[in-house]
């Protein structure tokens, strides 16, 4: 078995699904034969989580980094640590990794694509993608789009499903009841919750507005929980968190709606929870109202807990929901359509239970760490 000395590149100050999952993947790889380092922003949540898990980090200073500067740092790390493989996790990191190994085909490059594959067939991307040895995605639909939109050899495309710690997704009736009591959930109420950044593209506004389309008799039976934090842009010179302005504005609007006379006790914001699984367990329905989600980690986690899903008919969500097998689909950007889905489950609780059971079976079969780690370690070896 040839030695694999791997440098990950992931530059982000945010802490959404991409950052959370790539950090978890890197920590899981620590238990394999792979030797690894991670290049990331100093002071980022990613750096803190990795260091606390004993992962070696190479931390870059500043609020942002140019592709050329990052490429230079990657080249330096290759020389210093005798790196054999690069693994990039964002588009900018992919660019930098390609430039860093431009004239060195011995260094192999894996790119994890977490976002949608919009057309990139220009001369520059042709040159870049020649320097990507494997492009990995958890979504079959995204890989189909890559075939159409990226100038890449199809043999380089790899389906590697997100890994999850399946043994952690165990219901706790006592804790579920405790959390629901905290938010004064009534016996006949259905709790619909989302787990996401407070971001317009996540459909947070439309999910909140769905309550406006419910008649009073249905509103009485519903609570919506928005679990997540504002999008982080970076840090000030004083070390204070800087939030993305539109995200801050949406957050302020949501809190105002939660305090309004009609929605009081029907809409709650909950900050992101490190131990978030009990909060998913406390839900009855999981919702992801994103405009064009690639492939949602939170949807997988909700399915692991046996929750039916209200998703949107866009991006990779229909693939995850399986049409109408594991949930129902609303039209993107439509509070009315989301309200229709909520009313469907209010009227058909038997369907909600059936969708939840099928979702759990599907998620357990497709998303587990042993399979994911096997795919990646074998891929590194074969390149």
> What is the per-residue pLDDT for 187?
94
User: What number is the average pLDDT over the span 211-224?
Assistant: 98
User: What number is the average pLDDT over the span 53-62?
Assistant: 97
> What is the per-residue pLDDT for 243?
94
CA distance 200 to 114: 18
Closest CA to 93 of 78, 77, 79, 113: 113
> What is the per-residue pLDDT for 75?
98
Lowest mean pLDDT among 140-154, 208-222, 228-242, 262-276: 228-242
Asked whether 37 and 58 are in contact (CB, 8 A), the reply is yes
DSSP category for residue 162: P
Those residues with Cβ within 8 angstroms of residue 22's Cβ, 6 or more apart along the chain or in another chain: 8, 10, 46, 89, 112, 114
With vertex at residue 197, the alpha carbon angle to CA 191 and CA 202, rounded to the nearest 5 degrees, is 75
> What is the per-residue pLDDT for 36?
98
CA distance 17 to 37: 21
pLDDT in tens, 315-337: 889 999 998 999 999 999 999 99
pLDDT in tens, 238-292: 888 899 999 999 999 999 999 999 999 999 999 999 899 999 999 999 999 999 9
Joined tokens for residue 317: 């969500």
**Separation of CA 13 from chain center:** 15
Ordered structural domains, the chain, with CATH: 5-163+368-382 (3.40.50.2000), 166-366 (3.40.50.2000)
Lowest mean pLDDT among 83-87, 177-181, 294-298, 309-313: 294-298
Using pLDDT thresholds of 50, 70 and 90, give the confidence band for residue 232: confident
Lowest mean pLDDT among 41-45, 218-222, 314-318, 345-349: 314-318
Predicted confidence (pLDDT) at residue 233 exceeds the cutoff of 90:
no
CA distance 202 to 296: 11
Q: Which helix (H) or strand (E) holds 300?
A: helix 297-304
Name the pTM for this structure: 0.85
CA distance 251 to 349: 31
> What is the per-residue pLDDT for 5?
98
Using pLDDT thresholds of 50, 70 and 90, give the confidence band for residue 237: confident
User: What number is the average pLDDT over the span 149-159?
Assistant: 97
> What is the per-residue pLDDT for 24?
97
Closest CA to 290 of 270, 272, 268, 314: 314
Return the biggest CA–CA distance within the chain: 67
Buried b (16+ CB within 10 A) or exposed e, 246-269: ebeebbeebeebbeeeebeebbbb
DSSP category for residue 156: G
> What is the per-residue pLDDT for 16?
81
Asked whether 312 and 289 are in contact (CB, 8 A), the reply is yes
> What is the per-residue pLDDT for 224?
99
Predicted confidence (pLDDT) at residue 43 exceeds the cutoff of 80:
yes
Predicted confidence (pLDDT) at residue 1 exceeds the cutoff of 80:
no
3-state class (DSSP) for residue 333 = coil
* Dihedral sign from CA coordinates of 327, 332, 139, 22: negative
């Amino acid at each position: 078995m040839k030695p694999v000395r791997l440098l990950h590149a992931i530059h982000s100050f945010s802490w959404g699904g991409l950052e959370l999952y790539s950090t978890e993947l890197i920590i899981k790889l620590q238990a394999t034969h792979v030797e690894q380092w991670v290049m990331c922003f100093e002071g980022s949540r990613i750096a803190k989580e990795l260091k606390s898990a004993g992962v070696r980090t190479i931390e870059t200073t500043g609020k942002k980094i140019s592709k050329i500067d990052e490429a230079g740092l990657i080249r330096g790390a290759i020389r210093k640590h005798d790196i054999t493989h690069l693994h990039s996790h964002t588009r900018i990191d992919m660019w930098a990794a390609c430039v860093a190994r431009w004239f060195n085909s011995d260094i192999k490059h894996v790119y994890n694509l977490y976002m949608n594959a919009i057309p990139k067939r220009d001369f520059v991307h042709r040159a870049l993608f020649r320097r990507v040895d494997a492009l990995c995605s958890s979504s079959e639909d995204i890989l189909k789009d890559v075939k159409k939109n990226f100038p890449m050899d199809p043999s380089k495309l790899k389906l590697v499903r997100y890994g999850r710690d399946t043994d952690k997704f165990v219901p706790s009736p006592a804790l579920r009841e405790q959390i629901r009591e905290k938010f004064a959930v009534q016996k006949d109420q259905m709790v619909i919750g989302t787990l996401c950044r407070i971001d317009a593209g996540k459909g947070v506004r439309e999910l909140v507005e769905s309550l406006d389309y419910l008649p009073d008799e249905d509103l009485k039976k519903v609570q919506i929980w928005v679990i997540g934090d504002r999008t982080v842009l970076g840090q000030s010179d004083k070390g204070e968190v800087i939030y993305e302005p539109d995200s801050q504005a949406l957050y302020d609007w949501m809190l105002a709606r939660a305090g309004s006379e009609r929605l009081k006790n029907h809409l709650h914001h909950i900050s992101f929870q490190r131990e978030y699984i009990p909060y998913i367990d406390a839900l009855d329905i999981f919702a992801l109202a994103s405009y064009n989600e690639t492939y949602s980690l939170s949807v997988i986690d909700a399915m692991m807990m046996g929750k039916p899903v209200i998703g949107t008919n866009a991006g990779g969500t229909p693939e995850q929901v399986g049409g109408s097998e594991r949930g129902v689909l609303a039209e993107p950007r439509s509070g009315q359509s989301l309200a229709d889905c909520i009313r469907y489950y209010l009227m058909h609780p038997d369907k909600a239970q059936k969708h939840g059971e099928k979702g759990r079976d599907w998620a357990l079969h497709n998303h587990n760490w042993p399979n994911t780690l096997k795919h990646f370690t074998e891929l590194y070896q074969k390149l």
